[in-house]
Amino acid sequence: MALRAMDRIWRTTAIVMCAAVPTSFYVLGDLTDAFPGVLTLRTVEEGPAAGPRAVAEDWERLSAGDLVDPPEPSADLEGTADLEERMSTGAEIPVVDGGLAFSVVDADSGEVLAERDSGTALVPASTLKLLTAAAVLRQYSGEEVLTTRATVADGVVTLVGGGDMTLSDEDLRDLAAQTAELASVQGEDEVSLVYDDSYLQGGHNEAWGGNGAAGGWVTPTASLALDGGWLDGQQYGPKSLDPAGDAAERFAELLADAGLAVTGDIAEGEAPTEAASVEIHSEPLGEIVRRTLLISDNTTSELLAHLVALSRGQETTPTGAAAAVEAEIRDLAAELDVPAEAIDSLDLHDGSGLSRQNRVPPALLSAVLAEVASGEVPTLEQILFDVPIAGLSGTLAERFDADGTRDASGLVRGKTGYLGGAATLAGVAVLPDGRTVGYSIVVHGFDGADAEAARAAVDQIAAEIVQVR
């Protein structure tokens, strides 16, 4: 019964959201089984196998009969007007101890509905990934794919990266089989192997500090990588320090499996321009964005930032990637008429949020998310559907399960973030009066040993957005 009640709440919210913004929100209701449709996915969603704990709970599918006469949102529900006051009481939670900033912005009007220290630039942690996603979706349609090629010429096979760090062993095996066939056509049964990693400069970002590859947090950006450079298949397990080289080593083994012997040492080099080639493709870029936001994948988020730099014609170094995302978000913020002081304080040093040097004011992040939810910019709407749902999916699957927050489970969508003494959450929600909002919440200044309590405090504060008092 509890699950069914929660489903009814989420169904109502999806319908309200469909009414609040354009018909593209039908996709949201359909995907979450809020009403019948061809896009229904599944009734159970599991969170990432590793990294943030995220095991989802069930929710029932509703029949069409359940959708008759859905409840109408009240135009003036008591409690909406004092949202700022209610959220601000979170500053009194012991672990917060005054270290609270937030901003809630109406998606339709752009009006700030609630705020506290919203112009203060604070560590965003992984909520920065939302800005990286917005930047890449402003530069790309989301339908693009990343191409990995292999050329064969004069007894030399060159593995050419095209930015795909999500290559699976099966992908490389497919490319190896195609390459062996091409070599056979050329009369070759023995080759040397070279790999070309020049598509992106990439590499390790010094701004990560102690949150880099050595700690299992992220793989250095490269033009190609096998399984994101996750050496044991775990999100926070050991990472490859030479993802392109390691992918080439595995490719050599797969070429041998396909009957093409590889002799000599594998070397880095440049692919010949006129050589015959075969290729494989990644999933669409939009799907990479989705996975990045759902499980908070640091490696793919950094890759996306580098692709923004590539599109903007900036250096595809870690510094150049961060600068490109910052420039793109500054452009977007100016278009949204975000106050100049909020834009001026933006300071990005990576694309994933791992750097403690990053600074983002909640006012800026909430304004961007309100725009995402407004329906006015279709290219950004994907973000709305990609962020985790409280208590149900991704990094929020095991959140919002305490007293005072359970009623918000299924109603709040948001990207989580945690880094040292900062716990963050930013996303979209629907107020009890039916208005769709973008929000950003930062709890900061607490001791790292109190991380769980800080996350719980963030959930409690976020729950006030959707609850009627």
Please tell me the predicted confidence (pLDDT) of residue 341.
Answer: 85
Q: Say which range, 47-51, 83-87, 222-226, has the weakest mean pLDDT.
A: 47-51
Are 418 and 451 in contact, with CB atoms under 8 Å apart? yes
Q: Say which range, 28-32, 98-102, 249-253, 377-381, has the weakest mean pLDDT.
A: 28-32
What does the mean pLDDT of the chain come to?
Answer: 86
Find the Cα–Cα–Cα–Cα dihedral 168, 172, 173, 179, rounded to 10°. Answer: 170
Using CA atoms, how far apart are residues 278 and 74, in angstroms rounded to an integer? 59
368-424 pLDDT, tens digit per residue, is 999 999 999 999 999 999 999 999 999 999 999 999 899 999 999 999 999 989 999
Give yes or no for residue 12 having a pLDDT over 70: no
Please tell me the predicted confidence (pLDDT) of residue 24.
Answer: 36
Please tell me the predicted confidence (pLDDT) of residue 59.
Answer: 26
306-320 pLDDT, tens digit per residue, is 999 999 999 999 999
- pLDDT band for 26, please (50, 70, 90 cuts): very low
Please tell me the predicted confidence (pLDDT) of residue 339.
Answer: 86
- Per-residue pLDDT averaged across 345-358, rounded? 98
Are 158 and 151 in contact, with CB atoms under 8 Å apart? yes
* The two structure tokens encoding residue 137: 């979706």
Please tell me the predicted confidence (pLDDT) of residue 421.
Answer: 93
Q: What angle do CA 76, 78, 80 make, to 5 degrees?
A: 75
- Per-residue pLDDT averaged across 103-113, rounded? 96
Q: What percent of the chain has pLDDT over 70?
A: 83
Classify domain 147-283 by CATH number: 3.50.80.20
Q: Do domains 2-141+289-466 and 147-283 have the same CATH topology?
A: no
Please tell me the predicted confidence (pLDDT) of residue 254.
Answer: 98
Using CA atoms, how far apart are residues 294 and 49, in angstroms rounded to an integer? 12
Using CA atoms, how far apart are residues 416 and 427, in angstroms rounded to an integer? 9
Give domain limits for the chain: 2-141+289-466, 147-283
- Per-residue pLDDT averaged across 241-269, rounded? 98
Please tell me the predicted confidence (pLDDT) of residue 467.
Answer: 87
Q: Which CATH architecture has domain 2-141+289-466?
A: 3-Layer(aba) Sandwich (3.40)
- Residues contacting 446, CB < 8 A, separation 6+: 95, 96, 97, 99, 421, 423, 453, 454
